[in-house]
Structure 1
Amino acid sequence: MTPTTAVNGTGTAAWADTLLLSFAQAGYARAEPAIIQPAEPFLDLSGEDIRKSLYLTTDATGEELCLRPDLTIPVARDYLASGRAGEPAGFSYVGPVFRYRGGRPSEFLQAGIESFGRQDRAAADAEMLALALEATSAFGVTDVEIRTGDVALFNTLIDALGLYPVWRRRLIKDFNRKVSLIDDIERLTLSTTPGGNEYEGVLAALAGSDRKAALALVTDLMSIAGATNVGGRTVDEIADRFLEQSTLKAGALPRDARAVIKRFLSIAGDPDEAVAQLRALATDANLNITAAIDELESRIGFMAARGVEVRNTRFSTAFGRGLDYYTGFEFELHGRGNGTEPLVAGGRYDGLMTQLGSATPIPAVGFSVWVEALTEIGRKRGSAS
């Protein structure tokens, strides 16, 4: 069956079956997780903001449940519950997911691959990108823009700068949430307004502390006061707020650190050229980020070996997918001239498995395919040919 026949003939369902067959031939077994899932993992990992997009219910025991809004977490949960948890295993899937999307259908098809337990991270990352490109080609969509990034590089940079823990958390959170990171850097660099307040003593005690020490102090103070929350804020939230304020009181984000971060975030374009710029930055700023750069360079080599046109790939140090659980390589495939939404998106999420209950870290990488968007583009191009 040719791509045009599938799109113009039997439509989306045939495409989904064809895609699953190609994934199976690549060694990824079919996964079919339950449609109804516990809501807690989605809320914990994506934040309460996702609640307004979920279709929620409650069972007889009071547990909050939802229709699955995506398939990555359900597939990961099933893997952890299996006898293969911790071993290398790969899964593919296609099925409906449910999410409020403001005027667009709330039920739509998602396909994809999840790979767990592989220690050869760079090779596994490159394989995901190559298979993602094969997925778009299966729909007759070959003119795609490849956007890539690596959140591990940013995290390593921030660690190498030796910033206060509160600055590290705030900057990494901003990066993951895709807010205006440069604007926040500018605000952190400005000196705070002089003058005291009723919390001056607490702020002075917390200055330069880590989060554990801040939480312990605030917990003790609130225990003495006989309070467990103030104004709806939990102890953790109050501790974080005090810690942030104390750090700002102690001094602004160093200007040399700001300059390094801004230079880092400006690196974009050809991946090989980006590696050269990153090595120059590491040398100029005397930063120990060599291992992260080596991993990036290794991945680029594996991408080329898998037939990916590296020079047609855009790498940006500022690229992120806006999800907290990504820990390394991230990518999106966009159809040229077909809007801003990705057709395929994914990356490495090594931290997810422990967040879902694994006693030990398990490497994980994967991607999701937006089947209906690809079908529509494939149909239009098939009709025009």
Structure 2
Amino acid sequence: MTVTATTRGAASSAAWADALLLSFAQAGYIRSEPAILQPAEPFLDLSGEGIRKSLYLTTDASGEDLCLRPDLTIPVARDYLASPEAGKPAGFSYLGPVFRYRGGQPSEFLQAGIESFGRQDRAAADAEMLALALEATAAFGLTDVEIRTGDVALFNALIETLGLYPVWRRRLIKDFNRKVNLTEDIERLTLSGGPGGNEYQGVLAALAGSDRKAALALVTDLMSIAGTTNVGGRTVAEIADRFLEQSTLKAGALPRDAIATIKRFLSIAGEPDEAIAQLRALAEDARLDLSGAIDELERRVGFMAARGIDTSKTRFSTSFGRGLDYYTGFEFELHARGNGTEPLVAGGRYDGLMTQLGSAEPIPAVGFSIWIETLTQHGKPLGGGKA
């Protein structure tokens, strides 16, 4: 067999990745090896239908939709929930191929990472994830990386304290999680008084002031009369949510003072200590109780410093998010200096995932994924030249 530069690069990546797994094992994270073929439903439910075009799907004899795993977080979490360790503190590491259509790039690529379940000391666990992620990039010869962090729990706390309509809360949180430009969305909806068009004015009028249960009942009745269970691939629940949202937006625009507060919140960025001071000032000026979420951020920053992380070189932004609905708190990405597009490592806290995957009780969870291919491109062996 001819040994090519590509072959040597793949071998080098595998050797580095194996060294990573050894270091993770020494830190107490045991190897997890989930099945490559996974149920498609959890990925579609938790990442949105938008991921469907990136999945490699098939169907088994019973009609269940299956897919080649597009990442390893959900498969590792499912295996943990099916194990005797479910509900107990446990940490896992992984290394293996994942499969995702990426438009001109290889659809099969290596992913490594860590998932930590069941730890109640959330701030300390968050800081440990970031510290281990930095150790991973250092193992690839990258010791000076951009550290970008955020915290979706802060945004959720802000929205909950503003006293908005439930539909507004859901919409804004969804926009934040999906990386929609909130400022533009708020302006568009406020200036237009909500989505335009009058095709469904009768339905919208009937739903004015209704709650989600009533909206679901009405839409279910209407679709039963029409003899259908979905429209354009949307379920009854999704259609009900959409109608309820439009009804609420027609009934009342987002208050101007809420808009100003959200914009001020989303403009906060910089070193963590500076951001914390700005957040406390905002909460005091707007008379909002955000102390719980801000205190948790401050505890996390303290644990990061205790781990040897220079927090002055860490960028915190209230508008930072990773674009996945299941994150519930701390989020972060590590980037190569001067390359702001693809992250080398990314992760965060996702406490809500376990109940969405079937756990009867909430289980704290935090972790990160490493893109071996990207690290190899930007890194270099500690002993010498470019990979």
**TM-score category by the smaller chain?**
over 0.9
Structure 2 partner of 1:218: 219
1:384–1:103 Cα change, 3 Å: closer
For residue 202 of structure 1, report the CA deviation from its aligned partner: 3.8
Whether the aligned pair in 2 keeps the contact of 1:8 and 1:379 (CA below 8 Å) is no
- Aligned partner of residue 383 in structure 1, secondary structure: coil
Q: For residue 121 of structure 2, what is the aligned residue in structure 1? A: 120
Letter matched to residue 213 of structure 1: A
Give me the whole-angstrom Cα distance separating, in 2, the residues matched to 1:194 and 1:50. 25
Aligned pairs for 1:95-174 within 5 A: 95-174=96-175
Q: Taking structure 1 as reference, are residues 232 and 144 closer, same or farther at Cα in structure 2, changes over 3 Å only?
A: closer
What are the Cα deviations for residues 255-309 of structure 1, in whole angstroms up to 9, with x where unaligned?
Answer: 1000000000000001011011111111111111110011101100010001111
Equivalent residues of 1:164, 1:208 under 8 A apart: no
RMSD of the TM alignment (CA)? 2.3
Secondary structure at the aligned position of 1:322 is classed as coil
Given that 1:166 and 1:210 are in contact with CA atoms closer than 8 Å, whether structure 2 keeps it comes out as no
Counterpart-to-counterpart distance in 2, 1:230 and 1:343: 39
For 1:137 and 1:116, how far apart are their aligned partners in 2?
A: 25
Tell me the percent identity: 84
| Matched residues, number | 379
Cα distance change, pair 200–92 in 1 and its aligned pair in 2 (3 A): same
Aligned residue in 2 for 1:293: 294
> How far does residue 126 in structure 1 lie from its aligned partner after superposition?
0.4
Structure 2 segments unaligned to the other structure (5+ residues): 1-7
What is the CA–CA distance in structure 2 between the aligned matches of 1:358 and 1:151, rounded to whole Å? 22
> 2:61 and 2:195 mapped to 1: Cα distance?
55
Q: Is the CA contact (8 Å cut-off) linking 2:142 and 2:380 kept in structure 1?
A: no
Structure 1 residue 194: Cα displacement: 12
Q: Distance in 1 between matches of 2:106 and 2:10?
A: 23
Q: Which residue of 2 aligns with 1:34?
A: 35
Letter in 2 for 1:219: T
Letter in 2 for 1:118: R
Partner of 2:332, secondary structure, is strand
For residues 146 and 136 of structure 2, what CA distance do their matches in structure 1 show? 14
Q: Is the 8 A contact 2:195 2:246 kept in 1?
A: no
Amino acid across the alignment from 1:351: G
Tell me the distance in 1 between the aligned counterparts of 2:92 and 2:233. 42
Q: Does structure 1 residue 383 correspond to structure 2 residue 363? A: no
Contact 1:39 1:66 in 2 (8 A): yes
- Counterpart of 1:77 in structure 2 is 78
* Offset of residue 364 of structure 1: 0.3
Task: Give the drift of 1:219.
Answer: 2.5
TM-score by length of 2: 0.92
240-249 or 147-156, larger mean C-alpha shift? 240-249
2:57 equivalent in structure 1: 56
The amino acid across from 2:91 in the alignment is G
SS in 1 for 2:34: coil
Q: Secondary structure of the equivalent of 1:365?
A: strand
Residue 16 of structure 1 is matched in structure 2 by 17
Are 2:368 and 1:361 aligned? no
Distance across 1 between alignment mates of 2:351 and 2:236: 28
Question: Hey, what's the Cα distance between the residues in 1 that align with 2:317 and 2:235?
Answer: 37
Please say if residues 152 and 327 of structure 2, whose CA atoms lie closer than 8 Å, have aligned partners that are also in contact: yes
| Paired residues of 1:55 and 1:67 also in contact (CA < 8 A) | yes
C-alpha separation in 1, matches of 2:25 and 2:106: 29
Distance (Å, rounded) in 1 between the aligned partners of 2:309 and 2:233: 51
Q: What is the SS of the residue equivalent to 1:249?
A: helix
List per-residue Cα deviations over 1:82-114 (Å, max 9, x = no partner). Answer: 011000000001111111111111111100000
Contact 2:195 2:249 in 1 (8 A): no
Q: Contact (CA 8 Å) 2:194, 2:246: kept in 1 or not?
A: no
Is the alpha carbon distance of 1:235 and 1:139 closer, same or farther for their aligned partners in structure 2, counting shifts above 3 Å? same
Output one character per residue of 1:143-172: Cα deviation in whole Å (capped at 9) or x when no partner.
Answer: 100000000110111010011111111111
Q: Runs of 4 or more off by more than 6 Å in structure 1?
A: 193-196
The match for 2:349 is: 348
* Residue 373 of structure 1: how far off its partner (Å): 1.5
1:224 Cα offset (Å): 5.6
The question of whether the paired residues in 2 share the 8 Å contact of 1:54 and 1:99 is answered with yes
Cα distance in 1 between the residues matched to 2:336 and 2:173: 29
Q: CA deviation at 1:38?
A: 1.1
| CA distance 1:253–1:78, shift in 2 (3 Å) | same
Letter in 2 for 1:238: I
What does residue 4 of structure 2 align with? none
Give the CA deviation at 1:198: 6.6
Deviation at 1:195, TM superposition (A): 10
Specify the code of the residue in structure 2 equivalent to 1:164.
Y
- Residue type matched to 2:55 in 1? L
Amino acid at match of 1:75: V
**1: CA distance, partners of 2:310 / 2:321:** 21
Q: Which residue of 2 aligns with 1:4?
A: none
Distance in 2 (alpha carbons) for counterparts of 1:135 and 1:197: 55
